[in-house]
Amino acid sequence: MDWTIWVEWLIKSLFVVFALLTGFAYLTLYERRALAKIQVRIGPNRAGWQGLLQPVADAVKLIFKEELTPAKADKLVFFWAPIITMVPSIVIAAVIPFGPTTTLFGRTIVFSVANINVGVLFLMAVASIAVYGIVLAGWSSNNKYAMLGGLRSSAQMISYELSLGLGFVTAILLGNSMNLHDIVDAQRNVWFAVVQPVGALIFMIVTLAEVNRAPFDMPEAEQELTAGYHSEYSGMKFALFFMAEYQKMIAISMIAATLFFGGYREFWFLKDTFLSVDAIWNIGPWQFQAWFLGPIYMLLKVVVLLFFMIWIRATWPRIRYDRLMSFGWKVLLPLSLAVVFISAVGVLVAQQFDNNWYLAIIPIFSSVAGLVAVGFVDQALRRKSYASH
């Protein structure tokens, strides 16, 4: 193994960590400004031009805040919980590809920190670890609100991770690989969100639950549990939870973009133009592949997906806990199973007849399944509303 591979890893890791950390900082600003626009306010615009220094000011404030540890808290767990939450949210980004494979300086560069063949499994494994941090934080705080938040969180994650896993399976089936690079490449012609719209929609709903965002922000639930699992945390320890939440938002948006929205690949209408990531640019004497467009497309998609999360937070109330559970188990899980089954059948039929047009089975049948599920939810709500008569 020659030494340059270490340099390559180092640069790529630094890039990813830097992107996530600054991304987190500016995501908070993005969210606050976007929320303000939706809520007919202005939002933070004092620190720096258009509030661009606001994250810095926040960070300085949080660093200098006193950190309190409750007297009867379990000190060790209380200390480790934010770290356990924080680390997976960065590690998870390791396998996400943010550019096409290309040749630079005579080396073949793969634009992900770790190009492993079971990338999807890695995502699932790491995504599940974060819940430990939340549960431990809730338990170790010796606070009833925090404990309820932690309990809610664990139950919610377990319920929604099933559907999340089935969402991954859909992408694996369609991409015919567990390697994320292969999955992105398989979307060269058409995004999986088009082939499997219901699967993509379920995935996006479930990711909201996975990162504890409204309307599934049960573990925090300000109006019910004050601040849920991080009630007792302050200063940088709190900031770590905060950071983890927002980094998970970014990471999960990157995953959604990778699995269903073509990842780093160009938009469909730019295919085969000079703005494609495969295009070869000739500028003067240099000839090179436009690989640098990959991260840009990725960023655009992530920003749009993040906007949806913010938009939902601004407009929807929190779903009640028991409804959340029954929605996860009674609606999303059967529907995702149906979606996986339909996807498998579609892929199989297309392979048998060797004609990719048979893949059209998938969106048609899964849309029907989705509509049936919506019908059931509607029925259930209707029944509830007239039960009181």
Partner 1 sequence: MATPTTTATLDLAARFPGAVSADARPGYKGWIVEKDKLIEVATAIRDEFGYDHLTAVTGVDYLPEGKMEVVYHAFKTTGGPVLTFKVQVPRVDPVEVPSVTSIWPGAEFQEREAWDLLGVKFTNHPDLRRILLWEGFEGHPLRKDWKEAFYEEDAKPFKSRWPEGKHVMAEEKNPFKDNINFPKDFDPEQWVPEGEAALYGALARYQVQEGSLKTDHIVINMGPQHPSTHGVFRAAVTVDGETVVSLKPVMGYLHRNHDKIGERNTFLQNMPFTDRLDYFNSMSNNFGYAVAVEKLMNIQVAERAEYIRVIMAELSRIQNHLVFIGMLGNDLGMMYTPALYAFEERELILDIFEAVSGSRMMCNYYRFGGVVRDLPEGVLEKIKGLVFERLPVKADELDRMLTENEVFVARMKGVKVIDAENAIRYSITGPVLRAAGVPYDIRRADPYSIYDRFDFDIPTRPNGDLMDNYLLRLDEIRQSLRILQQAVKQIPEGPVMTGKPQYQVRVPAGESYGRVESPKGELAFYVVSNGKPNPFRYHVRPPSFVNITALEKMCVGTKIADFIAILGVIDIVLGELDR
Q: How far is the CB of 372 from partner 1 (least distance, A)?
A: 17
Nearer to partner 1, 41 or 61 (CB): 41
Nearer to partner 1, 96 or 227 (CB): 227
Q: How far is the CB of 377 from partner 1 (least distance, A)?
A: 9
Q: Are 336 and 164 spatial neighbours (Cβ–Cβ below 8 Å)? A: no
Q: Is 221 helix (H, G, I), strand (E, B) or coil?
A: coil
Nearer to partner 1, 315 or 355 (CB): 315
Q: Are 358 and 346 spatial neighbours (Cβ–Cβ below 8 Å)? A: yes
Nearer to partner 1, 107 or 384 (CB): 384
Query: Can you tell me the distance from the alpha carbon of 212 to that of 219, in angstroms, rounded to the nearest whole number?
Result: 7
Q: How far is the CB of 338 from partner 1 (least distance, A)?
A: 22
Q: How far is the CB of 86 from partner 1 (least distance, A)?
A: 24
Q: Are 67 and 236 spatial neighbours (Cβ–Cβ below 8 Å)? A: yes
Nearer to partner 1, 271 or 323 (CB): 323
Could you count the other beta carbons within 10 Å of the beta carbon of residue 10? 11
Q: Are 111 and 99 spatial neighbours (Cβ–Cβ below 8 Å)? A: yes
Nearer to partner 1, 208 or 240 (CB): 208
Torsion sign across C-alpha atoms 317, 321, 326, 327:
positive
Q: Is 105 left (phi over 0), alpha (psi -120 to 50) or beta?
A: left
Chain residues that interact with partner 1, rule: CB under 8 A: 35, 38-41, 144-145, 148, 214-215, 217, 221-226, 313-323, 381, 384-385, 387-389
Q: How far is the CB of 387 from partner 1 (least distance, A)?
A: 6
Locate 4 and state its tokens. Answer: 């340059």
Query: Can you tell me the distance from the alpha carbon of 206 to that of 36, in angstroms, rounded to the nearest whole number?
Result: 26
Q: How far is the CB of 361 from partner 1 (least distance, A)?
A: 30
